[in-house]
Amino acid sequence: MTISLANADFTVLIVEDDPYVATVHCRLVDASPGFRTVATATNGEEARALVSELQPDLAIVDLSMPGSDGVSFLRTLRREGHQTEVIVVTAVREARIVREVMHLGVVDYLVKPFAPERLQQSLVAFRSRVRTLRRPQLTQDEVDRVQGANRMPRLPKGLKRSTLISIRRALTESDHPLSAVEAGEMVGVARVTARRYLEYLEVIGAVQVERECNGPGRPRNRYHYPQEQTPARI
């Protein structure tokens, strides 16, 4: 795998036949620090040619595509010895397919529809995994972290997924960055509660924060999705 860690630049190939979904994936990747999309493919044959030409660090691959599907692409990728890592994003839920794909060495498997921050969490886990595996030797703790790097993290204690979804919806529906007070009013929770959810979204890289200074006193934080990305469920 050829990775430039000097500027933390990981190249990504999007393999998706739906143009809208491919565009959403590109925006999510390019909004994630240290990642950039280098190409898109609509089927397995096109993806294989792009991997041979570009040698991307990572491919985000749908399984259901016309022609050569995602599973066939993965088989070819491994048979030919390419080092490109793969995150699968698909509506396919059959256990036998999930098992085969896992045996082919994908680093994560995301079932559509999923929240945008879930893919961003997967990218963060991938980055951590690669950096750890570049070390000449690993401790048991480091091996354990690599093995568990792609598991969906639990929400911090006290946070509820239903409220998190409501906060995300408020950010989506607002035409301007929201403060904790505004988000709380839209969702029906206290300012302190809204701030905890907004800060969690900032920590995982799902939103960005702007600090608004209006005279003396503590600046007010306002939160928004990066690059005006559409955070609709994929």
Instruction: Tell me the per-residue pLDDT of 160-173, one tens digit each, with 9 for 90 and over.
Output: 888 988 998 898 88
* Integer Cα distance of 148 and 121 in angstroms: 13
Domain that holds residue 49: 10-147
Instruction: Examine the domain organization and report whether 189 and 92 are in the same domain.
Output: no
Among 199, 198, 170, 197, CA closest to 185: 170
Query: Would the pLDDT of 191 be above 90?
Result: yes
Are 143 and 168 in a shared domain? no
The count of structural domains within the chain is 2
Task: Let me know if residue 120 belongs to a domain.
Answer: yes
Using one digit for the tens of pLDDT, what is the confidence trace for 87-138? 999 888 888 888 898 888 898 999 887 778 888 888 988 888 888 888 888 8
Taking a C-beta distance cutoff of 8 angstroms, is the pair 32, 123 a contact?
A: yes
Q: What is the pLDDT of residues 32-89, one digit of tens each?
A: 888 999 999 999 899 999 999 999 999 999 998 877 788 889 999 999 999 999 999 9
Of 129, 62, 126, 74, the closest CA to residue 100 belongs to: 74
Looking at the structure, do residues 115 and 169 belong to the same domain, yes or no? no
The answer to whether residue 156 is domain-embedded is no
Specify whether 181 is located in the same domain as 103.
no
Tell me the C-alpha distance between 60 and 85, whole Å. 9
Q: What do you get for the CA distance between the two ends of the chain, in Å?
A: 29
Q: Does 78 reside within a domain?
A: yes
Phi, psi of 191 (to 5 degrees): -55, -45
Single residue among 105, 124, 147 that ends a domain in this structure: 147
The DSSP bridge pattern shows strands 220-224 and 208-212 to be antiparallel
Both tokens of residue 62?
């749908």
Residues 182, 119 within the same domain: no
Q: The domain spanning residue 168 has which CATH number? A: 1.10.10.10
Let me know if residue 152 belongs to a domain.
no
